[in-house]
Structure 1
Amino acid sequence: MSKDKHPTQPGRRAFLKNGALVLTAASLNPSQLLHAEENAKRLRFGLVTDLHYADKPPGGSRHYRETLHKLEEASNQFQQDQPDFIVELGDLIDAASSVDVELNYLKTVNREFSAICKNRHYVLGNHCVDTLKKEEFLGEVGQEKSYYSFDRDGFHFVVLDSCFRSDGVPYARKNFQWTDANIPAAELEWLKADLNATDKQVIVFAHQRLDVNNNHGVKNNAAVRKILESSSKVLAVFQGHSHQNDLNEIGGIHYCTMVAMVEGSGTESNGYSIIDIEPNGTIHLNGFRNQKDYNWARQA
């Protein structure tokens, strides 16, 4: 449905009522639907991932320069939908030949991204620190930490950093293999304590995947999932890295992999999303262009 959906044209949305899945667009006229949505107390945020912006020719299916135009389209949609915050799930930039060139890539794309919303969150991807150090990337985008948590409107959000080698050394300046992604012991301890300290329902943001054991997965993701599941608070994990729509449910948690913005030429190849969370934890993901739609009910 969402593969061909044009931005600003809302797709049919699904809701649970008395245990049944209801497609509201089929039962309400547009004015009723708009009124119902305006009066619903929801938390709304936007998601983009894997922009890989760089001022260089296409490489295979990746059209690096075109991400600025694709981001402009996403920005127009976000301006209409007014999310409470926006999250970029990693690989905002692509590799460059030098630190100065890489910083210029980052300044260019972040100038456009930062204009969309004042409340922004950046997840570190492996390409973000291919040429830069973490502190250089974070300093340029104005974010203090690479992993942290925050609360918003009754929900708890966790940003993870999997850009560490198996020996615990952080990624920086081509000192790593992209297949060797890990969450180190100190971050695992922090995550466990952070989840124990909150009484809210939790959403997690990551770049490398926590649900697969292939090259795109975090090597110690089983240990991460154990912490998430043990908390009994995590609703969903949103992640990028493998560039394709994918969805897995493990231990009662939805692991949703988002489509990459860099893939394909033209705005028809774009991908971004708006997520609405009901107070009861029901999640509605409204995807645009190549991003799929999903609707998940909070399990009792």
Structure 2
Amino acid sequence: MLSLAVSLKMNPANAPLTRRTFIQNGTLVLAATSASSLPLYAANADSELCVGLVTDLHYADKPAGGSRHYRETLGKLEEAALQFERDQPDFVVELGDLIDAADSVATEQKYLRTINQKFSSICNSRHYVLGNHCVDTLKKQEFLDGVGQEKSFYSFDQGDYHFVVLDSCFRSDGVAYERKNFKWTDANIPAEELEWLAADLAATAKHVVVFAHQRIDVNNSHGVRNNAEVRNVLEKTGNVKAVFQGHSHQNDLNDINGIHYCTLVAMVEGSGAANNGYSVLRLAADGTIRLSGFRNQIDRDFS
């Protein structure tokens, strides 16, 4: 009998909660460790969307560097996949830095094939946000071709929501990141993309959720340099509910002018299953958003 612990949630104080999930003979079962075990998720309601989220996997077949354990993200993603199998998301999103840097195009493409084989098996409907490490050695089109995605920034509708995928991998002069031609602290959303974003948001009356890699809510090295301009576009229509982002590797949340900017924890940080982090996002028709975090990811509730 195979017994593999998965889906152990962590609270904001990083203390384990009281419910564990195991696989026994290929079937997911639950083992409560005390009488105070938390309730399971309810089955997806017809009016509710479910989205699986991961970020900053930095997969690479190379030794750990500092707190980043590159090879271990394969196993961590497998754990997340088991949780997503249980929750049956409508689609899954990786918020950037799916791979880490390599010394050659061929090596980086190998990293991408390896991790995307795992990621693409989770769900037929997937979305990839470009991170700076995704195009450290590769060109954007090489990354997109590797994952089967047509564009680096775009939008789509599902249910009562309009979703936007942004690409901040541009230098201040508007040149796209590729082949080590950039500094990671110089992240920008260029004028052409901002014009598209303004028109796209003006054309929808649905609740809007944005997916990004570099942060739009801070002015430090992890932030998009023209973040104030981007936020101004997001705020104009009044229907943007939340932005989910990665890049800085730590849980964070800022509420700015009615928009929730939620930064998710990186999967690559720390060794062992206890240092994993991934999320299930639930979006109700009335605009209520609930983020259920696992392992080191904090739960969030937005109205």
Give the TM-score normalised by the residue count of structure 2: 0.88
Q: Do the aligned partners of 2:44 and 2:50 also contact (CA within 8 Å) in 1?
A: no
Residue 123 (structure 2) pairs with residue 134 (structure 1): no
1:296 Cα deviation after fit: 1.1
Match of 1:15 in 2: none
Aligned residues: percent identity? 68
Note the 1:71-82 alignment, pairs <5 A: 71-82=77-88
Match of 1:263 in 2: 269
1:41 Cα deviation after fit: 2.6
- The correspondence for 1:67, drawn from 49, 65, 73, is 73
Match of 1:236 in 2: 242
Distance in 2 (CA, whole Å) between partners of 1:184 and 1:7 is 46
Q: Do the aligned partners of 2:47 and 2:159 also contact (CA within 8 Å) in 1?
A: no
1:231 Cα deviation after fit: 1.1
Match of 1:45 in 2: 51
Distance in 2 (CA, whole Å) between partners of 1:107 and 1:188 is 31
Q: Secondary structure at the match of 2:185?
A: coil
Which amino acid letter does the alignment assign opposite residue 231 of structure 1? Answer: T
1:65 Cα deviation after fit: 0.2
Note the 1:46-195 alignment, pairs <5 A: 46-195=52-201
Match of 1:21 in 2: none
Computed over aligned residues only, the root mean square deviation of the Cα atoms, in angstroms, reads 1.7
1:199 Cα deviation after fit: 1.2
Which structure carries more helix by proportion?
Answer: 1
Distance in 2 (CA, whole Å) between partners of 1:198 and 1:279 is 15
Which amino acid letter does the alignment assign opposite residue 181 of structure 1? Answer: A
Distance in 2 (CA, whole Å) between partners of 1:148 and 1:7 is 40
Distance in 2 (CA, whole Å) between partners of 1:209 and 1:238 is 9
Give the TM-score normalised by the residue count of structure 1: 0.89
User: Structure 1, residues 193-234: CA drift from partner, whole Å, max 9, x if none?
Assistant: 000111111000000000000000000010000010111010
Q: Secondary structure at the match of 1:102?
A: helix
Shift >3 Å, 4+ stretches:
2-10, 36-40
Pick closer, same or farther for the CA change 1:152–1:40 going to 2, 3 Å: closer
Which amino acid letter does the alignment assign opposite residue 273 of structure 2? Answer: T
Pick closer, same or farther for the CA change 1:161–1:279 going to 2, 3 Å: same
Q: Do the aligned partners of 2:276 and 2:295 also contact (CA within 8 Å) in 1?
A: yes
Which amino acid letter does the alignment assign opposite residue 135 of structure 1? Answer: Q
Q: Do the aligned partners of 2:166 and 2:212 also contact (CA within 8 Å) in 1?
A: yes
Q: Do the aligned partners of 2:185 and 2:222 also contact (CA within 8 Å) in 1?
A: yes
- The correspondence for 2:293, drawn from 278, 287, 297, is 287
Q: Secondary structure at the match of 1:52?
A: coil
Distance in 1 (CA, whole Å) between partners of 2:137 and 2:44 is 44
Distance in 2 (CA, whole Å) between partners of 1:143 and 1:55 is 24
Pick closer, same or farther for the CA change 1:39–1:157 going to 2, 3 Å: closer
Q: Secondary structure at the match of 1:222?
A: helix
Pick closer, same or farther for the CA change 1:282–1:5 going to 2, 3 Å: farther
Match of 1:217 in 2: 223
**Structure 1, unaligned stretches of length 5 or more?**
11-28
Distance in 1 (CA, whole Å) between partners of 2:186 and 2:20 is 40
Pick closer, same or farther for the CA change 1:38–1:94 going to 2, 3 Å: closer
**Structure 2, unaligned stretches of length 5 or more?**
1-10, 22-37
